[in-house]
Structure 1
Amino acid sequence: MLAVILNLKDYTPFEHVCFAGGCLLWVVVYVFTIRGIRTRQFVDIPIISGCANIAWEFLWSWVFHTDMGELYVWGYRAWFFLDCYIVYGFFRYGYKQILIAPLARHARLVLACGIVGWGVMLYFYIKLYDAPISHMGAYSGYILSILMGMLYLTLFLSMNNLGLFSYTSVWCAGLGNLLVTLFCFSHFTDWFLLSMCAFTTLLNAAYIAIFTLQRSQPAAQLATV
């Protein structure tokens, strides 16, 4: 039974602890993002990476399956269901992220096209390159993590309002990615993947540092949680 829940043949206990811990921290990120949607009417995940996230999670929940065990299959599905509410938030409030007026007026169309476009591209990338090699979405996941890391910084700086973002989410996202990075360095040897892991860590560290610096300023606009 344990072998069905956790693949301990191909993955060590240390690797399971790192990967599961990273996944749980991202659940916390999603919970705080949903809280922000409900209380601030704003989604603090970049809209473009939000399109990619829901597409990736749908594919790895229902089309492709990780070989790490059923625990992670349902973990990916938990991400997907939480992300469905976040996408709902994008359809209601995503226009607030878009500073180009013509695009903001058509934010829902941009979102729908983004989800479909990412879904098609990721399907073929995962089928041809990712699933046969990593068996759990590492390559496609880190491509999206780099995208998200860069867009988090630009979104945060362009909004210029601390009150729209959760400091807890910033730390949980960074630490969650760091735990998955430790998993990758333990399990994989491909330096293309590992270089993406390292770059993601640098982007997350930069975001935490910039957020912390802004938060320490006397003119910080609103308390964040």
Structure 2
Amino acid sequence: MLGVLLNLNDYTPYEHVCFAVGCFLWVIVYIFTIRSIRRNQFVDIPLISACANISWEFLWSWVFTTDMGELYVWGYRIWFFLDCYIVYGLFRYGYKQILIPALARKHQLVTTFGIVAWLVMLYFYIKLYDAPLSHMGAYSGYILSILMGTLYITLFLSMNNTRLFSYASVWCAGLGNLLVTLFCFSHFTDWFLLSMCVFTTILNAAYILIFASQRKPAAHELSTA
């Protein structure tokens, strides 16, 4: 709904609180990721997910418009601008995520292809299915959330170094997704979408548990070194 800060006709105050706080927690996740890029020269968001994210954010910032109000239009744009730095980090350090040497040497080409491919696929999916159904990117967003939830776990385990990842960021991402899930359960009734919400929550909880289990031995090793 253009020209209105918050659309209170179609969304309740409870739904706005859940969605807005959930989105804000993802801003914090991006800030932690940018700090990791600067400190560790490592991007702790999986490469394919980061390509999908910036494509989704570009489309919902500049091509499609949410009906939730101007606050969210600019919220999506803040995500996009923060993500631009993350993608810059991928072009510099993305090879560290790729364990196949031949692909690691071509990581910039892989990143470019990923962004272009996701832009094209998401554009048509959002135009034909997502925007008419959710008006704010819920369906496409949760498809990407399931992808990210899976790849976060595989990236974390493959790196075998908890110091490259932020435990606080893991919690912010999980809680942010949980709040958006509460919003979806309040606002939508389609069980295709809601099932994606449930499985995203399970993946996020699994990542937190895996991170916590790996974090304890690392802390013990540091204390005894």
TM-score normalised per structure 1: 0.96
Aligned to 1:124: 124
1:61 and 1:77 in contact (8 A); partners too: yes
1:152 and 2:156 are equivalent in the alignment: no
**Residue ranges of structure 1 left out of the alignment (5+ in a row):** none
User: Where do residues 19-30 of structure 1 align in structure 2 (5 Å cutoff)?
Assistant: 19-30=19-30
For residue 203 of structure 1, give the secondary structure of its aligned residue in structure 2: helix
Aligned to 1:60: 60
Task: Give per-residue Cα distances to partners, 1:130-168, cap 9 Å, x unaligned.
Answer: 000100000000000000000000000000000100011
Distance 1:41 1:4, change over 3 A: same
Distance 1:158 1:218, change over 3 A: closer
Aligned to 1:84: 84
User: Where do residues 67-78 of structure 1 align in structure 2 (5 Å cutoff)?
Assistant: 67-78=67-78
1:114 and 2:106 are equivalent in the alignment: no
Aligned to 1:200: 200
The separation in 2 between residues aligned to 1:171 and 1:81, in whole angstroms, is 22
1:126 and 1:137 in contact (8 A); partners too: yes
Aligned to 1:138: 138
Of 30-39 and 2-11, more deviation after overlay is shown by: 2-11
Distance 1:5 1:46, change over 3 A: same
For residue 121 of structure 2, give the secondary structure of its aligned residue in structure 1: helix
Distance 1:74 1:222, change over 3 A: farther
Give the deviation of 1:5 after TM superposition. 0.1
The separation in 2 between residues aligned to 1:218 and 1:111, in whole angstroms, is 31
1:161 and 1:221 in contact (8 A); partners too: no
Aligned to 1:212: 212
Distance 1:87 1:222, change over 3 A: farther
Q: How many pairs align?
A: 222
Give the deviation of 1:45 after TM superposition. 0.2
Give the deviation of 1:216 after TM superposition. 1.2
Aligned to 2:32: 32
Distance 1:14 1:159, change over 3 A: same
Cα RMSD of the aligned pairs, angstroms, is 1.5
**Residue ranges of structure 2 left out of the alignment (5+ in a row):** none
Runs of 4 or more above 4 Å deviation: 218-223
1:162 and 1:220 in contact (8 A); partners too: no
Distance 1:222 1:169, change over 3 A: farther
Task: Give per-residue Cα distances to partners, 1:70-109, cap 9 Å, x unaligned.
Answer: 0000000000000000000000000000000100000000
Give the deviation of 1:217 after TM superposition. 1.6
